[in-house]
Amino acid sequence: MVEGDEYDSAFFEKTPKFWAYRPWGAIVTSLEHDHVDIYPTADSYRDAFVGFASRIAPEGVLVAHARDPEVVAIAKRSSARTVLYALHGDELPEGVTPTWTAAPIAPGGGMQPFELFIGGSLGGRFFSPLMGEHNLRNVVAAMALLAEGMGLPIPAMAKALRDFKGVKRRQDLVATVNGVRIYDDFAHHPTAVDETLRAMRRHHPDGKLIAIFEPRSATACRRTHQHEYPAAFAAADLSLIAPVGRMEIPPDDRLDIPSIVRDITARGGRAETFAAGPQSVDEIVARVAAEARPGDTVAVLSNGAFGGIHGKLTSALESTPR
């Protein structure tokens, strides 16, 4: 199983990477306009996924997220057999009924329990080590594909899921220093930021949640999602927004970070930003070292190395008296 990538193949090959695949089975989780440097319009982005779905073998399986109307529409255009999944309580498009659904139970002991329903029948209670509803949706989708497409037995998947260690840069706990947890996460799209922070808030209800966000991708650095970002940080007690990673973008097109900070503050949150330059990472680290206390969680959200911030945070928290 591999993760599909809709980004272009190379500077000389401007077609989506996943058009080179000839999959027998696939999962489509969501469709939100991204990679604006490659797909300037929502229609052009959608067309990439339509093309991917058309490449799935007709005798194969397409597992599609029932809550996303864009995904449902794409699934209807595929010649493969479609299996829909969702979480219990999801708001679904009219006339859409998922075959695989999960009902989450309150997390505990580092696990996210859930009850799995297949075709309306209870398939059992399961335990996922992954935080958040977005990860639970991914778990159900993967189980659906493995069961419907490959005939894997549910009990075997249940054991493998419980032992799963996760992947790098997805809610990756890189250190716990003097009682402060430091997570690394690849989130940079507003939906990913929102889902990740809400998951961490639910998983660690005690202590403050400090979000550190670096807008670095071609889309995150632009104003494409300017108005979606403030709400995405609602779960954080303090949001520290780094300067955009691509200052060459014209000011009129560049993400307006001071405006995001003002909007978060207007919503009742706490947010700060920093002057552009190589010193910004050290300033963010110093701010976290002054703020963080045992029991707090620090979420570093970036799709890059972020100036080695994880190691710097670890060192600063080790040397700061509590």
Which has the closest alpha carbon to 213: 237, 234, 244?
A: 244
Per residue in 149-198, pLDDT (tens digit) is 888 999 899 989 988 877 777 788 999 999 999 999 988 889 889 989 99
Least confident range of 6-10, 11-15, 52-56: 6-10
What pLDDT is recorded for position 6? 57
* Average of per-residue pLDDT across 247-261: 91
β-bridge partners, 87: 102
Per residue in 130-143, pLDDT (tens digit) is 888 888 999 999 99
pTM greater than 0.75: no
User: Is 5 or 177 the better-scoring residue by pLDDT?
Assistant: 177
Per residue in 156-167, pLDDT (tens digit) is 999 899 888 777
Domains defined along the chain, listed by start: 8-162 (3.40.1190.10), 172-319 (3.90.190.20)
- CA 236 to the chain's CA centroid: 16
